[in-house]
Structure 1
Amino acid sequence: MSFDRAHTDDLIAFLGSSPTPYHAVASAAERLEKAGFRQVEETDAWDAQPGGKYVLRGGAIIAWYVPENAGPETPYRIVGAHTDSPNLRVKPRPDAGAHGWRQVAVEIYGGVLLNSWLDRDLGIAGRLSLRDGSHRLVAVDRPLLRVPQLAIHLDRQVNEGMTLDRQKHLQPIWGLGDVDEGALIRFLAQEASLDADEVVGWDLMTHDVQPPAYLGRDRELLAAPRLDNLLSVHAGTTALASVASGPLPYIPVLAAFDHEENGSQADTGAMGPLLGGVLERSVFARGGTYEDRARAFAGTICLSSDTGHAVHPNYPERHDPGHHPLPNGGPILKVNVNQRYATDGAGRGIFAAACERADVPWQSFVSNNAVPCGTTIGPITAARHGITTVDIGVAILSMHSTRELCGADDPFLLARALKAFLKG
């Protein structure tokens, strides 16, 4: 098959415009608006009009398309993903420093691969909360911060094993001088064309400013930040926008949650009520009853799309010997019988059928029995809403690093499979 590098080019643009979950959902909403979707507010009454709609809440977006032939009992087909990535996030009192250096106080978010944040040129981005209750996005996408590593001359044993103190060793520098209380927020308010007195709160985080790039002799790989899991958010957004027209047997949905990397326990996380509330309100807005809601949920299927591990050529013993997913081999089906992933045999059939319709190859992933298995929003979605859920994704290297690596063709292959799944 011919591979569409235009899709990966667009993913690169999406990653560049999405340094935080708040920017990611804004970027997704912009793409959906161009496909005819419109935002609906959770505080408003919802109508029964067909078409594309979406809800934004913080760093999460739920978008769905109601075809004209849909009844209140019509099931959903959901692509689930998450918008957050491990990083360093700014503390409530951000201005710190010592010994003539100005620093920014940060807290570690999620399962950060700590050493990957050393000696990187970092920007800062996020959301400023204003006195009138509104929010303003801000992004400084240029070298601003750096977490300097200790020179080898001062730690002769560093190559025998590095130990980083999370409190002391990960605080980035951003200048020289005495600690200046309020300096960071004054600077970011100016970047956002605001008066610093308007800013009463913030959700800010660091990001690597090195842009995504094709890698390798044949440019067959993609090196980029936040592939986990904006690759899936972008693929799901693209797939939903492409099927949002005409009659469909299902109502296609994109559910991109925040806070997956620290357990999903948030109002914008998969464990919260956001997805269930949106789906139920859609049923009721179309004149449905609780019986219709039960019928719709019983026929609903979710593909939980998140990145997984490609076989590492330097550490093959960490992988299951019979399952070695490779980049550009197509999306992976993720299985764990202890329900770290939600896939079962029936789910395998659902995913295989979608890939077959899309003419997309696919691979299986299972963890080595001696290595703990990660998890996703999949088991949470299945348990909370009682809907059939299948865990899939794209195989990558360097998961949770500031810069991850995938096959350059796999984003397109994933989006193509998701499109076939949403069309039903």
Structure 2
Amino acid sequence: MSAPSRFDRGHTDDLMSFLAAGPTPYHAVASAAERLEKAGFRQVAETDAWEGTSGGKYVLRGGAIVAWYVPEGAAPHTPFRIVGAHTDSPNLRVKPRPDSGAHGWRQVAVEIYGGPLMNSWLDRDLGLAGRLTLRDGTTRLVNVDRPLLRVPQLAIHMDRNVSADGLKLDKQRHLQPVWGLGDTVGDGDLIAFLEDEAGLSRGEVTGWDLMTHSVEPPAYLGRDKDLVAGPRMDNLLSVHAGVAALAAVAASGADLPYIPVLAAFDHEETGSQSDTGADGPLLGSVLERSVFARGGSYEDRARAFAGTVCLSSDTGHAVHPNYAERHDPTHHPRVNGGPILKVNVNNRYATDGSGRAVFAAACEKANVPFQTFVSNNAMPCGTTIGPITAARHGISTVDIGAAILSMHSARELCGADDPHLLANALVAFLEG
């Protein structure tokens, strides 16, 4: 008999709040940590000695979070069940010398992060958010969540061939946002403005990691409100589902055969090669320390890793009604059709037949339908943290996710039921 569903449209409502509260990876992990704290999890510092006690724990590092729940009586060699995701999204990020401008316009100098659909950032009201590093070495989050910047598109009267030839954007010249007027551009104007916004003294900020975001809030869409439009679904949709699933499993009091884990990394959109990325040491370090804190040996660590399975959860491509020929003709994932299993024989996704069986069993237990995604043979296939996690840690990994449209746009589109269907499948997977 299938387990009853734990999540419904109320989960989707909460996802929309999570998206709005997470304009940057730093804000997203802070929001995730807040939810875990309410579920009884406690933060542990990487610089402290760890105890092998049971219960929920989490580590924060920059824009990454790793959280896990140790059941009562878990042996040192108990395997892990991991939900992997990422917190970053393509956007426009502020350069080290941010103050720019010309011809009476004040502008902010930005650099392109990841692979955004650049046209989706034009003529859109943008806020500014991120992390400020202070003179004493501490950090402060800042979020100016109101219309502050705009990348104005050239009028069609000055680009008469744009409709026929297509829009061509130069990343350096055409994507620098305006944020005011003035003939003199003062060095330090933007940072001074953010110091005021954050309630800091002038000159207190000595470093920053800042990025733009659309200030339009997430919203239900459609005649029957069966769609959701919003920013950063790739991949905060999966982070939110993972947090909800981990908290639900920890609260269930079930006799768990595995140690459930959520690992949400930064920098997936740029290759994952950082101390907070999936290609860094963070996940392996946390898992090993968990084993050793419970009195385990290297042999216990090897046994635990050998029995571990990771679901790499990232958004995937729903069939597009206007571009159906771009999809494989026999694989057309639909929104609200349940999570997708991603397969690529060239290991752009990590799924194999054994992994498929694990995911199918979880979906069956949760009474959740699932679909399969395979790229059109004539088109290159994207990738995820899945192959990186499998190769770096020797962990069996399966690539899954929710089907969306407009991936990498400033505003993406998903089905209103898919977030809670994914979360229910993740609960069943973590429970084993």
Same fold (TM over 0.5): yes
Distance 1:368 1:196 in 2: 54
**Is 1:419 the equivalent of 2:427?**
yes
1:311 maps to what in 2?
319
Distance 1:286 1:51 in 2: 12
Letter in 2 for 1:295: R
Structure 1 stretches lacking a partner, 5+ long: none
**Is 1:342 the equivalent of 2:347?**
no
CA apart distance, 1:309: 0.2
Q: How does 1:47-58 map to 2 (within 5 A)?
A: 47-58=51-62
**Is 1:329 the equivalent of 2:337?**
yes
The equivalent position to 1:8 in structure 2, one of 9, 12, 32, is 12
Distance 2:60 2:200 in 1: 23
2:204 maps to what in 1?
198
CA apart distance, 1:180: 1.7
- SS at structure 2 position matched to 1:96: strand
Distance 1:200 1:235 in 2: 35
Contact 1:80 1:305 in 2 (8 A): yes
Q: Which runs of 4+ in 1 moved over 4 A?
A: none
CA apart distance, 1:285: 0.4
**Is 1:215 the equivalent of 2:207?**
no
2:138 maps to what in 1?
134
**Is 1:357 the equivalent of 2:373?**
no
**Is 1:169 the equivalent of 2:169?**
no
Contact 1:335 1:342 in 2 (8 A): yes
**Is 1:398 the equivalent of 2:403?**
no
CA apart distance, 1:181: 1.2
2:289 maps to what in 1?
281
The equivalent position to 1:157 in structure 2, one of 154, 161, 164, is 161
1:67 maps to what in 2?
71
- SS at structure 2 position matched to 1:256: strand
Farther off after superposition, 106-115 or 192-201: 192-201
Letter in 2 for 1:73: H
CA apart distance, 1:37: 0.3
CA apart distance, 1:196: 2.7
Distance 2:65 2:341 in 1: 24
Letter in 2 for 1:406: C
Distance 1:141 1:409 in 2: 28
Contact 1:72 1:286 in 2 (8 A): yes
Farther off after superposition, 301-310 or 194-203: 194-203
CA apart distance, 1:91: 0.2
CA apart distance, 1:4: 1.4
1:241 maps to what in 2?
247
The equivalent position to 1:370 in structure 2, one of 375, 378, 381, is 378
1:39 maps to what in 2?
43
CA RMSD of aligned residues (A): 0.9
Paired residues in the alignment total 424
TM-score (norm 1): 0.99
Contact 1:20 1:205 in 2 (8 A): yes
Letter in 2 for 1:286: R
**Is 1:107 the equivalent of 2:115?**
no
Percent identity over the alignment is 80
Distance 1:6 1:88 in 2: 32
- SS at structure 2 position matched to 1:196: coil
- SS at structure 2 position matched to 1:357: helix
Structure 2 stretches lacking a partner, 5+ long: none
Distance 1:156 1:83 in 2: 40
Letter in 2 for 1:166: K
1:226 maps to what in 2?
232
- SS at structure 2 position matched to 1:106: strand
Contact 1:325 1:395 in 2 (8 A): yes
CA apart distance, 1:273: 0.1
CA apart distance, 1:61: 0.1
Q: How does 1:374-385 map to 2 (within 5 A)?
A: 374-385=382-393
